Amino acid sequence: IQRSLNETFGADKYSEARKEVLTNMFSRPMQMALYFCTGIMEDETLFRHYALNVPFYTHFTSPIRRYADIIVHRLLSASLGASSPMKMEKEAIQRQADHCNDRKMASKRVQELSADLFFAIFVRVRT
């Protein structure tokens, strides 16, 4: 697929943009990760990371990027005994996770709509 896509992109000034948009469109069917509070979830199979094939998985990035990552860093630090426990009930943590998921989904949707718009313009110009 990659070889045929590279041939399709061409070599004009928009080739990199086309490549970016089409690659993004092909990756859409992948399920997005969701934040959740493990204290709320009773089914531990939901903690599993399918692609990595591990039963328990926690993902986070630098805490300067996202609020959810700050919470994960603080919870991890507390669980390792490096800091005091957070003073948040698990229901409050789940509400924060839900809010972060909602914002992430909205952002993803805007990104997809932007890609759709670019692709529609690309198709219109090419026909």
pLDDT by position in tens, the chain (length 127): 667 767 777 778 888 887 777 777 776 666 677 888 888 888 888 787 777 788 888 877 776 777 888 888 888 899 999 999 989 999 999 999 999 999 989 998 999 899 889 889 988 888 7
pTM exceeding 0.85? no
Nearest alpha carbon to residue 117 among 17, 3, 16: 17
Q: Which domain, by its residues, includes 69?
A: 31-126
Residue 9 belongs to a domain: no
Q: How many domains does the chain have?
A: 1
Residue 12 belongs to a domain: no
Residue 85 belongs to a domain: yes
Residue 6 belongs to a domain: no
Residue 58 belongs to a domain: yes
AA letter at 79: S
Within 8 A by CB and 6+ apart from 72, the residues are 58, 60
Residue 13 belongs to a domain: no
Residue 14 belongs to a domain: no
Residue 118 belongs to a domain: yes
